[in-house]
Structure 1
């Protein structure tokens, strides 16, 4: 592809920012990234306090990619932003209370810890990254507001001729890359059979100064049945807690044939939503079991976070079935953020037609939806059925 040809990226979340950065590094001169919000986009799943970077996958492809990403995070460019908790390599299985407390002394108050078993990964980290600045320095143009809010494709005589935005403008380019995460089915309903927009819930509790010191440097603790929590943020003294479920949907999208599909109910449009009562109760159950000394404290910053699943948890990186000018870079399946430094390389490879970006696993595909065995519970509930309604 000609490096002078204009490229339009829709979405400035994890995948969009990384793609813009890597394309600019390759010498592409005219890259524009549009989004409703300035980066960091309020609707991006990457807009959050602390993240997990894990390298343990049953799927060799993602294990290798995660190790590659971890090495990229360790580059000096991320100094002061990225840091690792715990030790630095390997996995050990823990089976006794003494094992658990030796590695994570903050769990000495946990209830029924004698029944706990699991593994301690010695690769872990948490950070908030602004890769946007790197891309901007390389010449990427960012457009937000109504001029950056995609509404639909602009099709002329069956050919993709641009991207319509809320202001009424039409952005044109030689190639288009859709990196809109959970919003993808809402923008392109034909993707609703391949992408399932789901949300998960999180909240925070505030620690005292002495508790902050106690929990500083703590590894991420993930209880598969109840949830997980992180080292606290040093500025706010907030500790982030997520309960574990199959997730929620908001099935208000409607296809031409009358079938419904889930679309995001973003907090930026519904700031008073908070989280469902049952999710708050789930978070409190986690606190009561894992850190009972913190039980009963007010939950702060409670909100929902949207991701988009694929049936097999593989990404969706390929050309649109009907519009080859449009490359899809979506389908994070809840495990995309860790790849921020490197994922754009693969999407850029796909744009250039390279095999490393056009993998069989990331193709346009149709599969049966099944229960997600990596998450507890049996049901993806609708937000309207748990107290959140339009």
Structure 2
């Protein structure tokens, strides 16, 4: 492929920015990245205070990719953004979650990465690894995995830094800027495909223009099925809930460098942000949908109801109750504190939690780079290299696991429950 040919990336979130970066590093000089919002897109799942960076996977492909990604996060480029605090992932007794953890450990064994990893089965061991759990009310049923080689990244700052690098960085010793143009607003808001004689000839945007390119890459995350309804059989857009509590300076010092703690049945929380003193908590759930769109077959499907368009939404009352239950159980010294910045975060699942990185079935000029399935952010430094490989037709990026597929929807053992409620049924978007 000619390095000067135009490439259009739709979406400036995790996959989009990473793809722009890796294509530019390979010498592609005519890249445009469009999004409704300036980079990093506020609608992206990665536009967040923090995200977990971990290596445990029961799927060998992602275990290997996660080990590659954490090595990339350790680069000095990410100093101050990636925090290798370790993490503790547990279950209070769910058999599927326990099996998932065991298989994840075995995959690390196969890849020769067991140093700093151990199973923990007693409250004493849990508190030894995470002293901040000393006030928790009941850890007697918790069992899980401690991984020293994990932690978290400041998600928004990470995407912003990589986007800025795309805009201004130098490649090696050459004074060659990484040439990517970011376009937002009406000119950056995709509304559909421009098709002529059955061929894709451009991307329609909200300003009424048609953006023409040689190659197109859709990295629109949860918005993907709303932009291309034919993806509604491949992708399921869902949202999860999060909230924060504000700590004092003294409490901030106590919780600094704390490992990430994740319990399958209750949720997870992070080291507080030193700038805001906010400690983020996510309750455990199968997620929510907003099933308001209809595809060509007449089937309704879920599309995002973004907080950027509906800042009044907040989170469902039942989620607020769950977050407070988490606090009362794990952090009882903070019970009763007001929840701050409570909102929903949208991702898009595939039937088997594999990404969707493949050519569109009808329009080969359009490459799909989506289907994060709630575990994509940790690959920010590396996922764009796989999408770039797919664009170039290289085996590393063209994988059967990431192909357009007709598969049965499976439950995710890392998420409790088996019901995905509609937001309208819990008081939002009715």
Q: CA deviation at 1:4?
A: 0.8
Q: Which residue of 1 aligns with 2:228?
A: 188
Q: What is the rounded CA distance, in whole Å, between the counterparts of 2:316 and 2:149 in structure 1?
A: 32
Q: CA deviation at 1:222?
A: 0.3
Q: CA deviation at 1:98?
A: 1.2
Per-residue CA deviation, residues 232-273 of structure 1 (Å, 9 max, x unaligned), is 000100000000000000000111332100000000000110
Trace 1:36-185 onto structure 2 (pairs within 5 A): 36-86=36-86, 89-128=115-154, 129=158, 130=160, 131-137=162-168, 138-185=178-225
The range that moved more, 380-389 or 132-141, is 132-141
Q: What is the rounded CA distance, in whole Å, between the counterparts of 1:97 and 1:25 in structure 2?
A: 48
Q: Which residue of 2 aligns with 1:358?
A: 398
Q: Secondary structure at the match of 2:291?
A: coil
Q: What is the rounded CA distance, in whole Å, between the counterparts of 1:256 and 1:384 in structure 2?
A: 23
Q: CA deviation at 1:83?
A: 2.0
Q: CA deviation at 1:90?
A: 2.8
Q: Secondary structure at the match of 1:222?
A: strand
Q: Which residue of 2 aligns with 1:198?
A: 238
Q: CA deviation at 1:330?
A: 0.2
Q: Which residue of 2 aligns with 1:269?
A: 309
Per-residue CA deviation, residues 282-325 of structure 1 (Å, 9 max, x unaligned), is 11111111111111100000000000000000000000000000
Q: CA deviation at 1:331?
A: 0.4
Q: What is the rounded CA distance, in whole Å, between the counterparts of 1:100 and 1:259 in structure 2?
A: 47
- 2:229 and 2:295 in contact (8 A); partners too: yes
Q: Which residue of 2 aligns with 1:34?
A: 34
Q: CA deviation at 1:79?
A: 1.6
Q: CA deviation at 1:139?
A: 1.4
Q: CA deviation at 1:113?
A: 1.7
Q: Secondary structure at the match of 2:51?
A: coil
1:244 aligns with 2:284: yes
- 2:86 and 2:146 in contact (8 A); partners too: no
Q: What is the rounded CA distance, in whole Å, between the counterparts of 1:222 and 1:209 in structure 2?
A: 24
Q: Which residue of 1 aligns with 2:339?
A: 299
The range that moved more, 87-96 or 369-378, is 87-96
- 1:86 and 1:217 in contact (8 A); partners too: no
Q: What is the rounded CA distance, in whole Å, between the counterparts of 2:163 and 2:121 in structure 1?
A: 43
Q: CA deviation at 1:89?
A: 4.7
- Any gaps of 5 or more consecutive residues in structure 1? none
Per-residue CA deviation, residues 89-126 of structure 1 (Å, 9 max, x unaligned), is 53111111111111111001111122222111112222
- 2:53 and 2:153 in contact (8 A); partners too: no
Q: Secondary structure at the match of 1:286?
A: helix
Moved runs in structure 1, 4+ residues, more than 3 A?
86-89
Q: What is the rounded CA distance, in whole Å, between the counterparts of 2:266 and 2:281 in structure 1?
A: 10
Q: What is the rounded CA distance, in whole Å, between the counterparts of 1:118 and 1:372 in structure 2?
A: 17
> What RMSD over aligned residues (CA atoms) do the two structures have, in Å?
1.1
Per-residue CA deviation, residues 319-368 of structure 1 (Å, 9 max, x unaligned), is 00000000000000000000000000000000000010000100010112
Per-residue CA deviation, residues 43-78 of structure 1 (Å, 9 max, x unaligned), is 000000011011001111101100101011111111
Of 359, 362, 384, 1:322 maps to 362
Q: Which residue of 1 aligns with 2:107?
A: none
Q: What is the rounded CA distance, in whole Å, between the counterparts of 1:48 and 1:225 in structure 2?
A: 22
The range that moved more, 129-138 or 18-27, is 129-138
Q: Secondary structure at the match of 1:176?
A: strand
Q: Which residue of 2 aligns with 1:344?
A: 384
* TM-score, normalised relative to structure 2: 0.89
- 1:53 and 1:123 in contact (8 A); partners too: no
Q: Secondary structure at the match of 2:18?
A: helix
